[in-house]
Every structure is written in structure tokens, then in C-alpha cells.
Structure 1
């Protein structure tokens, strides 16, 4: 697999910052910025329907995001920051970078690993621009090259190593370290059961978002996000899907919020106003309900029994999961 590089891709930015009285935007990528403008404006319109929207908006955590389609040749990674202009008029500030996706379907699963350095760079630029007393002080960052690489092959190697060296128990322990109590066995079974209809229907009816817990250790966060994606993407092998991925904070813990409708205002609205996730989000933290289903199916019993072994490698867990749910 060859590297997918963004080293020559110029940064794009759009939105409001405290040092300016109106919108700021990069000179390049006008059509992409227009799409971002529409997405953000629709989200802000949804927020404004709530009388408390300013409080909700101001409390929204900074969020890394990506829009990735299995049928697309271009991916978009970005950083979303709740911001306002010099007059206090609220509107997000977004930094982003687009990159080629010659192997889109392969890329999506390991995307959080492959985009980690790009996300970090976009966040750095956003913080500098937002904090600048005069935007000109941040121009070197805003107008310079991203100078990072999005590399599918190295991300895949890192993920394969993660799967081989971590177990069901070690993943649970990493998640517990930041206060997330979850049964990997129940969560894995739940994902497979919930997504089975997508094999025939695709993503058209998937209007809710998945709320998937991540770890506090930033160096491991991308690998854990890719673990969840590896359980999900096989259900869309026959259908194209456009994902909206949002790495954010829920209840004080890092999470991947995942929507199946791309750059959806409804999804971003739920990421910003997290009270909506109680209705629109599907959490795996309490998946006791799977126990009622397991005994009725041989394959589910087999997978459930495998996952009870705390020493089971994530590689073997994934292989058995795919055998049971996908027949591969």
C-alpha cells in the first residue's frame, strides 16, 4: 500500500475568531468552504431553536472530525472549535485538510490512526488563530503547509500490532482507567446484532449515532477508535457509506461519536448539544440486553464464550466476530 500524503495540501480554515469582526476564511478551496459554511449554518440554526443555545454552544468541547466515504476519492479531516467574533457573535472556527483516498474502504477502518498527526496539527493551528490578538500574528500558521502525512500502510501496521498485543481484558482496563466501565464482550455482541440489518439495507435507515468510548491515553486513542470501526465496517461491504467521525468528550470521557450520513447537521448538532444523545445516540456502556439473544444462536454463543476469555487477543476476537456475523 502506498502512502496517502497531505504534505502538499494547503490548510483551509473558515469561521469566526475573537480578533475579527466577521468571518475569516482561506483563499483556496472555495467550493469546500462553501460546503462547510452550509453545514455549520444548518447546525447553528438547529441550535438556535433552543432558548439556552448560547450556554450549550459555549460549553461544547473542541472536536476532531472526519468525513469519509467508502465511495469517495477524497477525505476530509478537521478540527471544530466553538468560537465567536470580536462582537461576541457566535460561530465555530474550523481548520481542515483534504487528502486523496485511493483505497477509501481500507482507509476508513484505520483512519483514526492515519489522521492522528493531521488532527494534532489542525488543532494546533486552530488554537493559535483563536488566541491571537491580531489574526495577522497567526498568518504563518494559517497560510503554511500542513507538512504532515496521512499514511495508510503505516496506520495498518500499527493497528495490526495493536490487535496482536492487546487482549479483551487489557482493552477493558485501558477504558476503566478513565472511568469507563464497559463489558467488551457485551459491547462487541451488541454492535454485531445492531448492525446486521445494514448488510442488506446499507446506511439509509441509520439515522442514530453510535457513541463509542475511547481511552485517555492520546497515543492509544486512534487504535481504540479503529477497533470499533473494524467491528462496524464489514457490514457495509456491499453498500457505500459516508461516515461522520467525531472525536469528542462525553461526560468527561473521550468518545468517538459516529454518524452514517456524512456531514450531517443533525449529527453535529448532537455532538454540540450532548443532551440530544440520550435520544439520538446508541451507547454500548449498558448492553445487558444481549444476554437474552445469545442463548438462541450457536454462533453468538460461540463468540460470547470466546470473549469471556480475558486473555483472548483482539485479533482473534475480531476474526471470530467476522466469522459469526459476516461469514468470512
Structure 2
């Protein structure tokens, strides 16, 4: 069977794919779960373009792409975590911490500006993974503690948030966030490259198979010889690295390390991943779906801003309602396919 680049390949995932001789109802269920978010995104963009003259302007599309890029990088790491059946609540704080560390390190060169947040945030992700995999602690509790700890480190580095580190606008690091290539911001290109790499890793490597296997059935994966603990440690480390990199790119874009950013980003990332078709129970998901989920959230936010008369709080209301609908739909589709 020919599949997309990031279609899962484990025992669990093959059960989720369209089986040979599938009925029409089964095929529709599979397509709805895999591509429902993409169809919704296309419909939303068509409706928005017909309703607002400014929606398809180059400036608006560029702003949406840039604002999506940073959340998308965080969602990339979150996808690996959720496919294993885990959760990472620390990414919002790691995003903010990564931005501050990158801005501080930029005074010593681009290498320090990039490597410092990656090292610190990756280390925190590694600790999360070790506690979850080796000590068998609940991911919710461990990453919640990491979220608070990372925010505490951030406040310590910035003197309780009173100090803001600036990035030299003429530095190469700043260009990573502000330069454009073919009219598209550099962070967008970096994000696209990362998503292609992530899709290849999840679909075409043994590690990706382990990720799906652990999320599908951890005990069965262990019996098949999959390194369950090492896989969990790896995905949480990857999530920390992605959050730190996203924060660094955001600091380069803003040419400063803003301390108040990242609040609630973990919920946005989880929403985007789930909206994109990844099951919260693990074992099934798509890298490309997470990107679509991010774009859909940003389109909804942009439409609310275009309306103008609605308070920004409606963004959270609409996003929460949409997420609830998606989770209910996923649950219904899963049960329906099992019955069929």
C-alpha cells in the first residue's frame, strides 16, 4: 500500500490504516480521521477569503505564517510525546526560557544564542523523560513540575522579570528571525525543514516505529523488544529541544527575550496536535496533521481579529470548543471502526 511520508507503520498504526477489502464506511472513517483537519482548514480559508478582503493579502498571510512557525516547532515535539501516549506541560515555560537564554547568549555570538537554550531546555526535557520512564512517574505531574521550575529559572535569570535582554539587530542571529527568503520569513523555512525531518523520522526510521509501538501498547512493545524507556526519554528530550529552539527563533524575530511569552502555549500545542488527528491515547498520529492543526488555530484567531467587534477572549472559547468537537469525533470514529 502506498502511504504518505508520515503514515504510521507499527502494529498499532497498521490497524488504524485502511484494511484490505475495507467497506465504504470504514474507508470514510479512516479518511475523516486522517484528513478532516485539512478539509476544515481549506473550507475555513475559503470562507475567510470571501468574507474579508484583507485575509489573502501578502502581509496578512506572512504574519500568520510567522506566528504559526514558533507554535508549530513546539507542536512538532509535542506530536512525538502524544503519539507515545504522554503529555508535556512544560513546553510553554521552556519556550519562554529558551527565548530569554538566546537573547542573553546573543551577546557572545550566534552559536551561544542557539546552543544555550537547546542545552538547557533539552536537559530539562531529558530529566522529564528519565523521571517518567525510569521512575514511572505520571507525565502530567512531572511536566507540571518542570513547567513551574523552568518559569522559576526564567524569573531568576531576569531578576523577577524586570530585566529584558536585547539582541543586536545587525547580528546574524537576528537575521535568522527577521530575514526573508523568496518573500517568506526565515523561521517559516526552518519550520518546514524541521517538519520534513520529523515526518521522515516518524515514518521511515526504527525509532519512529518504536514511538508508535510504545503508544499503541507499551507492554506489547516491550515484549517485541522495543526499548520503551529509551524511547520515552528520547521523545521528552526532543520536546524540550523543540521548545527551546522555538523560543530562540522567537527571540531572534523580536530581537529581545520577552519574559511574559509562552503562557498557555502548551495547551495550544496540545490542541493543534489533537486537531491534526493524533490520538491523545497514543499510537496514532501524523506530523503533517499537527502542522495543519496549527494553521487551523491561527486562521480561526485571524478571522476573529478580522471581525474586530469580538473580544480576543473568543479565540480561546472557539479553540476550546473546536478541540472538544475534534476529540468527540475521534472517539466516535474509533468506536465506529471497531464495531465495523
Check whether TM > 0.5: no
TM-score (norm 1): 0.27
For CA contacts below 8 A with separation 6 or more, give which structure has more relative contact order: 2
Looking at secondary structure, tell me which structure has more helix per residue.
Answer: 2
Q: 1 or 2, which has the higher strand percentage?
A: 1
Normalized against structure 2, the TM-score is what?
A: 0.27
